[in-house]
Amino acid sequence: MRTNLLKRLTAALAMGVFALGIGGGVAVAKTDLLVYTSIEADELAKFKNAFEKDYPDINIKWVRDSTGIMGAKLLAEKDNPRADIVYGMAATVLLQLIPYNYFQAYAPKGVEKLNPLYVDPKNNPPLWVGQRAYVAAVCYNTIEGKKANLPIPKTWKDLTKPVYKGHVIMPNPGSSGTAYLDVSSWIQMWGEEGAFKFMDALHKNISRYTHSGSKPCKLAAAGEIPIGVSFAYRVVKSKAAGAPLVLITPEEGLGWEVEAMAIVRNTKNLAAARALADWTISRKSMELHAPGYAEVALPGIPNPVKDFPDVGGKMIKNDFAWAGANKARIVKKWTARYDAKSEPRKKK
């Protein structure tokens, strides 16, 4: 008994000294896993707690910011990547980083069970694996909408009706990935000419363009505008906080984006990064991914959010490669046409 206790004490002491030696109060055995992500911050604790319960020797360290900021940071670090794994990041951002040899291929355990749309189609084993999809959506503020006598729109084309003039806000594709999601989906549905014709008409109704993709529905939630073009998760969240919003998924079809993960090429914590990837596509984790999102990578997991519309059928066949390749050109065209909204209209 006594010797046992003594042994334990010595061990504990040694561990303590060792912990001090490496310069922190962090327990020795734990691996710090640096994860860059754009997942909404309120979900981070949920994922971290669940994962660390299953892998007690790994400690997730999040660096979270908006897709734009994280994307810029990732790209700026391309010569000397710092993250171990990029997680819950828009797939378009990952696609932009792949040419710089940013990631290493890995097929997480169970990847074969995933919906093939969510797995890197170009590489095997895949460079990236999708976690879930978020869809474009429209939100409608019932109180403000009623005040202005606005009918609830059902389709994208509805939004071009004169009755909505000055009552719609959408993000600017020049600064927001969500907005580009909308624009590229319209082009994929209606062709470039048809889509721009639609946007010409929509532009007449737009009150202003915002820089952040989540802002339109935040503004709608705060009664600043009756109708916002944004994505679904935001609407669900604002509703839960008490906003008088209705979530609308236009009938023509919805643009969508995959939130995906990819292991960084020079990670020093490969085992831990792979463990996170494996865990992420497990059923348990996929269930955590589901609330508020259109679809998760693992088929057969329903969205637990009440009255969340069934959007599966509306998701368009999204060609990410095309969208990425044409982004610069389309944004430039869009900017030239619409990006001077508050300017007094000048004839050239």
Partner 1 sequence: MTDGPQAVVIEAPLVKPKVGRENWVMRAGLAVIGVYLLVAVVFPLYTILSKSFQDSRGLFVGLDNYAEYFATPALFYSINNSLTVSVISMVITVGLAFGYAYGLTRSCIPGKGVFKAIALIPILAPSLLPAISLRYLFGAQGMIKGLLMGETIYGPIGIVIGEVFWTFPHALLIIFTALSLSDARLYEAAEALGASKLRTFFTVTLPGAKYGLISACFVVFTLVITDFGVPKVIGGGYNVLAVDIYKQVVGQRNFQMGAVVGLVLLAPALLAFVADRMIQGKQVALLSARAVPYEPKPDRRFDLAMLAFCGTVAFVIIGILAVAQFAALVKFWPYNLSLVLDSYQFDLMDGGSWGAFWNSLKMAAWTAVIGTAVIFTGAYLVEKSKGFEHGRGLIQLMCMIPLAVPGIVLGLAYIFFFNAVGNPLGFIYHTLIILVLCTITHFYTVSHLTAATALKQMDAEFEAVSSSLKVPFYKTFVRVTVPVCIPAILDISIYLFVNAMTTVSAVIFLYSADTQLASVAVLNMDDAGDTAPAAAMGMMIVYTSATVRLLHFLLTRGIARRTQAWRKR
Q: Give contact residues for partner 1 (rule: CB under 8 A).
A: 34, 40-42, 61-66, 68-69, 71-73, 75-77, 79-80, 82, 93, 96, 143-144, 172-177, 207-212, 214, 217-218, 221-225, 234, 237-238, 241-244, 327-328, 331-332, 335-336, 339-343, 348
Query: Would you say 73 or 113 has its CB closer to partner 1?
Result: 73
Least CB distance to partner 1 at residue 342 (A): 5
Residue 206 sits at φ, ψ, to 5 deg, of -70, 130
Query: Would you say 159 or 243 has its CB closer to partner 1?
Result: 243
Least CB distance to partner 1 at residue 204 (A): 14
Q: Could you tell me which of 175, 264, 252, 253 has the C-alpha nearest to residue 211?
A: 175
Query: Would you say 119 or 235 has its CB closer to partner 1?
Result: 235
Q: Could you tell me which of 78, 87, 84 has the C-alpha nearest to residue 44?
A: 87
Q: Using H for helix, E for strand and C for coil, what is the string for 144-188?
A: HHHHCCCCCCCCCHHHHCHHHCCCEEEECCCCCHHHHHHHHHHHH
Q: How far apart are CA 293 and CA 286, in angstroms?
A: 11
Least CB distance to partner 1 at residue 336 (A): 7
Angle between helices 320-338 and 177-205 (to 10 degrees): 40
Query: Would you say 96 or 115 has its CB closer to partner 1?
Result: 96
DSSP string over 202-218: HHHHEEEEESSSSHHHH
Q: Could you tell me which of 38, 311, 280 has the C-alpha nearest to residue 302?
A: 311
Least CB distance to partner 1 at residue 62 (A): 6
Query: Would you say 8 or 61 has its CB closer to partner 1?
Result: 61
Query: Would you say 131 or 214 has its CB closer to partner 1?
Result: 214
Q: How far apart are CA 336 and CA 317, in angstroms?
A: 28
Least CB distance to partner 1 at residue 128 (A): 17
Least CB distance to partner 1 at residue 101 (A): 13
